[in-house]
């Protein structure tokens, strides 16, 4: 089922209609719905590998010497991942998760980002009132802004620079 879903995505069909996935995979619709009760659950399964990469990058950034440089690098990395995968962006910004693995990855991500933010706060590099889930949502907001515009990657850099400037402490 996941292979068929990936093939549909590669063919440019991101509707991920569960009935079509069942038909193309040669399984009953009930089988698909048992594994993926809705499209979001399917997106979560399809995004697991990307999520793991993002968590690894966040943990590396949190362990690095320069917290602010690590935050910048992490945000650029994450923006690239969500910009070319709207399903991953939807999973990343969602408040509820269908799969326990997704919830665990999100908790790991938020933990690493929180550690990174704490270090950046202690150095006076970022404001005190921003939390890890705020950063996640702001990043998804940039992805949405780029997608709803003309898709120019240069705009993504501008928006990311605005976000990074906004994370600085008030002057």
Q: What is the pLDDT of residue 87?
A: 85
Give the count of domains, the chain. Answer: 2
Task: Output the pLDDT for position 15.
Answer: 87
Contacts of 145 (CB under 8 A, 6+ apart): 155, 159
Choose among 125, 98, 112: nearest CA to 36.
98
Residues 74 and 94 in one domain: yes
| Together in a domain, 54 and 74 | yes
Q: In whole numbers, what is the pLDDT of the chain averaged over residues?
A: 91
Percent of the chain with pLDDT over 90: 64
Q: Are residues 53 and 18 in the same domain?
A: no
* In the predicted structure, residue 14 carries a pLDDT above the cut 80: yes
pLDDT digits (tens, 9 = 90+) for 97-141: 888 899 999 999 999 999 999 999 999 999 999 999 899 889 888
pLDDT greater than 80 at residue 37: yes
Task: Count Cβ atoms within 10 A of the Cβ of residue 153 and give its class: 0-12 exposed, 13-18 middle, 19 or more buried.
Answer: exposed
Give every CB contact of residue 49 below 8 A, 6+ residues apart in sequence.
Answer: none
So what's the pLDDT on residue 104?
94
- For residue 42, being part of any structural domain is answered with no
What is the domain range of residue 92? 47-167
């Amino acid at each position: 089922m996941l292979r068929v879903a990936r093939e549909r995505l590669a063919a440019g069909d991101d509707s991920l209609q569960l009935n079509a996935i069942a038909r193309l995979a040669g399984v009953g619709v009930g089988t698909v719905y048992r594994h993926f009760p809705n499209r979001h659950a399917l997106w979560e399964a399809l995004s697991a590998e990307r999520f793991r990469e993002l968590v690894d990058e966040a943990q590396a950034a949190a362990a690095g010497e320069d917290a602010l440089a690590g935050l910048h690098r992490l945000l650029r990395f994450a923006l690239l991942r969500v910009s070319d995968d709207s399903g991953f962006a939807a999973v990343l910004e969602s408040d509820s998760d269908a799969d326990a693995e997704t919830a665990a990855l999100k908790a790991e991500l938020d933990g690493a980002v929180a550690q990174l933010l704490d270090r950046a706060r202690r150095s006076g590099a970022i404001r005190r009132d921003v939390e890890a889930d705020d950063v996640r949502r702001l990043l998804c907001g940039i992805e949405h802004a780029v997608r709803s515009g003309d898709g120019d990657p240069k705009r993504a850099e501008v928006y990311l620079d605005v976000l990074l400037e906004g994370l600085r402490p008030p002057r």
